[in-house]
Chains A and B, each alone.
Chain A
């Protein structure tokens, strides 16, 4: 009955408080759900007696992290990941920079078909490609190894070159496949950013006597820097976290990257070193989280893929 005599402004504040409480409750519950799995990995990474279960550590130790850098395979996985994903990201940026610029500036007949094509390519599910891509990689692999064998007869050199340039179980193959997978999104982002740079700037620079290269270096690249940042961050995050390509195209332990190395170590059910693996998981996750924090503000732009309004 109190509610009846309550003035309408009080009524508003009551519902306001109630919905405010609901908002906090929602956020706290969802946040707890989101955080729950992380407690274990963070605690276990510093726990001298790490296990599969969430537990309060008896002490704090950095041994697991030291182990990664002392342990040959841990260090190798980290380095391989950095080299492969790093090179793929740089390559993606170069090709997407050129491609995005061309797509933004050209008015040729191939502009629209290519843009629609890129949207469709982004929709292709990678698992559907594994069989034909495997065949393509196999073909390129035979070809490049034929070249290597022609180039040198020294077996040791052959092995070394094969490790570098093979398409299956070699660095080059993994770098190129990661690059190809990240290109559609990266080109799209670069095209969008170049679209926002008026052509007048380039023309003005050209009128002032700047060479083509000077225009690119001093006008285009600085203006497109946020685009490169966005494209690079997303290429890095996606390639860094990818599991399918390493699974398909690496077998030798020397080439193992973080996701596959960890996965195989985890499959050895009898002898899982949880301290080592959780510390490695922390190291593997940190770069992705940092990159995501920077990339977050660009995220909504990448969803739409050209949707206006």
Chain B
């Protein structure tokens, strides 16, 4: 009898302990995520008549959305941004550094620290640093660098806007890929490599026949996390270009912000947000299922 009440009291205690965190996440993340769906069915606005009294418009926002070239442009830009920086840029450079750091090189901690540095910098400072790097005119840092190769000064953020933000995000995320892939490399048993060497396998063969297959789970995990985090980027691109010039760097997050708070169309902005939520939830469910996440 006493045991039962003690157990009950403990169970009640767990619920109380959970409550504050749950309340905050519910109020500021879960409820808003669902609320986005209902807002996307209204003509809610930040200014004007609809701001006082928004009305239900059914799927009108969505039909407008799918006919809006700016929305498709934003999706395309997001896709190129994610593939260019997370799937290719960060992954290739991160994998190369992880492989190089596997070897008995000297000054390992120094290389490690330098590669990690960009990852620790706040988004706003990243934008600030790279605006100086990309500065136009012959004194811009990048322009002086390419001048060694005989390239004329460029207006990087105007001529190659999308490439520029891909370079910046690649720069920022090498560390993340390197750290995750290093932990994957460390988990490969060393005797497999020795056995392959004894059998006379070359470096290239070892890499493609042993390292890559053994790394597949880690690579998959990396691809998932980096896709999701890159999909959610806002500040990094906003401080660099605010989506411009002419929407060329308007990734989904910035498109939502611009539609909602620059064009004041909250209902329409919410419809874009719904698309973005659905995409990330699909990714999340695939992840939980495919990796058989144990909780």
Contact = CB atoms under 8 A, between A and B. Distances in A.
A132 B35 contact: yes
B277 interface: yes
A183 interface: yes
A176 B26 CA distance: 12
B14 A105 contact: yes
B280 A284 contact: no
A102 interface: yes
A55 B20 CA distance: 52
Nearest to B217: A309
A181 interface: yes
A35 interface: yes
Contact of A41 (B129, B273, B281): B129
A244 to B, nearest CB: 5
Contacts of A4: none
Contacts of A112: 295
B96 A36 contact: no
B125 interface: yes
A23 B284 contact: no
> Most chain-B CB neighbours within 10 Å: which of A128, A263, A307?
A128
Contacts, number: 301
B225 to A, nearest CB: 6
A275 interface: no
Contact of A307 (B13, B22, B235, B291): B291
> Most chain-A CB neighbours within 10 Å: which of B18, B113, B124?
B124
B273 A129 contact: yes
B239 A243 contact: yes
Interface string A7-26: 00000000100011011101
Contacts of B261: 130, 248
Contact of A304 (B104, B203, B221, B239): B221
Contacts of B119: 292
A301 B18 CA distance: 22
B53 to A, nearest CB: 14
Contacts of B27: 136, 180
B48 interface: no
Nearest to A51: B139
Contact of B33 (A132, A288, A296): A132
Interface residues of B, number: 98
B81 interface: no
Contacts of A277: 128
Contacts of B269: 130-131
Contact of B14 (A102, A126, A248): A102
Nearest to B284: A123
Contact of B28 (A20, A133, A291): A133
Given A132-B36, A241-B123, A285-B121, A126 B232 contact: yes
B62 to A, nearest CB: 15
A243 B234 contact: yes
A306 B294 contact: yes
Contact of A303 (B221, B270, B285): B221
Interface stretch (B64-72, B188-196, B251-259): B251-259
- Lowest 5 A-B CB distances belong to which pairs? A243-B235, A127-B253, A125-B232, A292-B120, A241-B122
28 contacts: A24-B105, A27-B97, A33-B171, A38-B129, A39-B141, A41-B132, A53-B135, A94-B20, A119-B293, A123-B284, A125-B232, A128-B36, A128-B256, A128-B277, A130-B257, A130-B273, A131-B36, A131-B269, A136-B28, A243-B234, A248-B261, A258-B124, A260-B124, A262-B125, A288-B120, A292-B119, A293-B113, A307-B293
Given A23-B99, A31-B111, A303-B221, 9 more contacts: A27-B111, A30-B93, A41-B128, A124-B29, A128-B256, A130-B273, A132-B35, A244-B235, A285-B121
Interface of B: 11, 13-15, 17-18, 20-22, 24-25, 27-33, 35-36, 39, 93, 96-97, 99-101, 103-105, 111, 113-125, 127-133, 135, 139-141, 144-145, 171, 174, 179-180, 183, 203, 217, 221, 225, 228, 231-232, 234-235, 238-239, 252-254, 256-257, 260-261, 266, 269-270, 273-274, 276-277, 280-281, 283-285, 287-288, 291, 293-295
